[in-house]
């Protein structure tokens, strides 16, 4: 039974404790309100967190307008994911899954990991929409023209014709249920260099979204994506169009929000054989490196499409650009042609606002 004798004293003690507690809670609430008002309800920090990584034989530069803890969590996840993509689809690495596929898919169906299968689906879509101008089965042609191993002479017409017999995504059998790939001709090989960075860009943007980063600019070696929201106190993101004839200079800027951009050009990667410059983008139908416009920038709503489209339009020129604009909303292109001292800029479709310098 309870001893009632000490009740008044205990009641007084409880009352004092309650008052102290309420005072403390009140003070804490006031403090929180002050802090919240100072930071502003939705205002992200104006100083971004910027991080660079070496990846895809190039660089990645990620700029985030968010608090440092959120940024660090998101950046760690992005770095891990980019590394996984690189390690899976790098065909210059004998150990990669793509190299294993290329070694064995002519003899038995190769069952893909989810990651490799996903990239290959994007590549198949790219092939369909570009009517074969974008074709990741260019591997044998890349090798023939000396991009895998240095060669002294130019390939002969016979060599090109023979290589073409091993090229064409319609010669690759995809089993959608088993998620496996089989080459119908020996000697085929896939090269995901034309889509890898664009694919990675989409994954990075997804990771940022999952980490609640709503203002970001991601540059994966010239493949760029930005969020729907601009940096604080700015109206949009501005992405420079590089002058393909003078890569230190810019030929204007594009004002964008929520877009991905990719640029293809021979100035990035080329060989010189017997005095002839060999560009790294090959027309899978002729087997010859494409001379192309000097540079093509594709602007659209996904990283993978921007990467596929810039390569496809490098092969197919302005008519291909028009075709892709008709097929995919919110898509546009900036093509640079002409001569070094007189570059010509052609805009096709909805490229965003292009600003002259």
Binding residues for ligand AMP, per CB under 6 A?
134-136, 138, 142, 191, 193-194, 264, 269, 280-282, 284, 307, 310-311, 314-315
Using CA atoms, how far apart are residues 333 and 317, in angstroms rounded to an integer? 10
Q: Three-state SS for 271?
A: strand
Alpha-carbon torsion angle 284, 287, 289, 294, nearest 10: -40
Residue nearer to ligand AMP on the CB measure, 78 or 315: 315
- Least distance from C-beta 307 to Mg ion, angstroms? 4
Report yes or no: 229 and 257 within 8 Å, Cβ to Cβ.
yes
Report yes or no: 201 and 311 within 8 Å, Cβ to Cβ.
no
282 binds, among ligand AMP, Mg ion, none (CB under 5 to 8 A by kind): ligand AMP
Beta partners for 355? 253
- Least distance from C-beta 148 to Mg ion, angstroms? 19
Choose one: 56-64, 83-91, 311-319, 329-337; the region binding Mg ion (CB under 5 A).
Answer: 311-319
- Least distance from C-beta 205 to Mg ion, angstroms? 17
How far the first Cα of the chain sits from its last, in Å, is: 89
130 binds, among Mg ion, ligand AMP, none (CB under 5 to 8 A by kind): none
Helix (H) or strand (E) holding 143: helix 139-144
Q: Three-state SS for 30?
A: helix
- Least distance from C-beta 314 to ligand AMP, angstroms? 6
Residue nearer to Mg ion on the CB measure, 213 or 278: 278
- Least distance from C-beta 353 to Mg ion, angstroms? 23
204 binds, among Mg ion, ligand AMP, none (CB under 5 to 8 A by kind): none
- Least distance from C-beta 242 to ligand AMP, angstroms? 13
- Least distance from C-beta 136 to ligand AMP, angstroms? 5
315 binds, among Mg ion, ligand AMP, none (CB under 5 to 8 A by kind): ligand AMP
Residues in contact with Mg ion, shown as a per-residue x/- string from 280 to 309 under the rule CB under 5 A? ---------------------------x--
Among 130, 266, 311, 331, binds Mg ion (CB under 5 A): 311
Q: Three-state SS for 248?
A: strand
Residue nearer to ligand AMP on the CB measure, 155 or 193: 193
Using CA atoms, how far apart are residues 14 and 324, in angstroms rounded to an integer? 75
Q: Three-state SS for 114?
A: helix
Q: Three-state SS for 116?
A: helix
Q: Classify burial at 190, counting beta carbons within 10 Å of its beta carbon; exposed 0-12, middle 13-18, buried 19 or more.
A: buried
Q: Quick one: which of 170, 129, 131 has its CA closest to 306?
A: 129
Q: Write out the binding residues for Mg ion, residues 176-195 only, by CB under 5 A.
A: 194
Which residues sit at the interface with Mg ion, rule CB under 5 A? 194, 307, 310-311
């Amino acid at each position: 039974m309870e001893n009632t004798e000490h009740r008044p004293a205990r009641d007084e003690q409880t009352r004092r404790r309650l008052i102290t507690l309420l005072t403390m809670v009140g003070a804490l609430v006031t403090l929180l309100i002050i802090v919240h008002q100072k930071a502003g309800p939705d205002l992200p920090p104006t100083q971004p967190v910027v991080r660079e990584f070496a990846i895809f034989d190039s660089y990645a530069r990620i700029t985030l307008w968010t608090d440092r803890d959120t940024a660090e969590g998101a950046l760690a996840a992005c770095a891990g994911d980019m590394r996984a993509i690189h390690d899976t689809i790098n065909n210059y690495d004998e150990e990669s899954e793509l190299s294993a596929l290329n070694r064995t898919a002519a003899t038995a169906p190769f069952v893909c990991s989810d990651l490799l299968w996903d990239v290959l689906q994007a590549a198949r879509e790219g092939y369909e929409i570009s009517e074969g101008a974008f074709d990741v089965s260019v591997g044998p042609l890349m090798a023939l023209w000396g991009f895998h191993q240095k060669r002294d002479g130019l390939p002969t017409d016979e060599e090109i014709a023979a290589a073409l017999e091993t090229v064409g995504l319609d010669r690759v059998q995809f089993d959608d249920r088993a998620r496996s790939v089989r080459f119908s001709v020996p000697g085929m090989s896939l090269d995901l260099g034309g889509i890898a960075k664009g694919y990675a860009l989409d994954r990075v943007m997804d990771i940022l979204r999952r980490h609640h980063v709503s203002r970001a600019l991601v540059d994966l070696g010239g493949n760029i994506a930005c969020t729907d929201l601009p940096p604080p106190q700015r109206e949009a993101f501005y992405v420079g169009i590089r002058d393909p004839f003078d890569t230190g200079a810019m030929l204007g800027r594009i004002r964008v929000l929520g877009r991905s951009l990719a640029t293809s050009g021979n100035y990035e990667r080329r060989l010189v054989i017997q005095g002839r410059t060999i560009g790294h983008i090959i027309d899978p139908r002729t087997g010859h490196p494409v001379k192309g416009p000097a540079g093509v920038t594709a602007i659209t709503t996904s990283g993978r499409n921007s990467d596929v489209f810039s390569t496809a339009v490098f092969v197919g020129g302005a008519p291909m650009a028009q075709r892709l604009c008709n097929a995919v909303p919110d898509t546009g292109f900036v093509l640079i042609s002409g001569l070094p001292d007189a570059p010509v800029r052609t805009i096709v479709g909805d490229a965003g606002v292009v600003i002259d310098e």
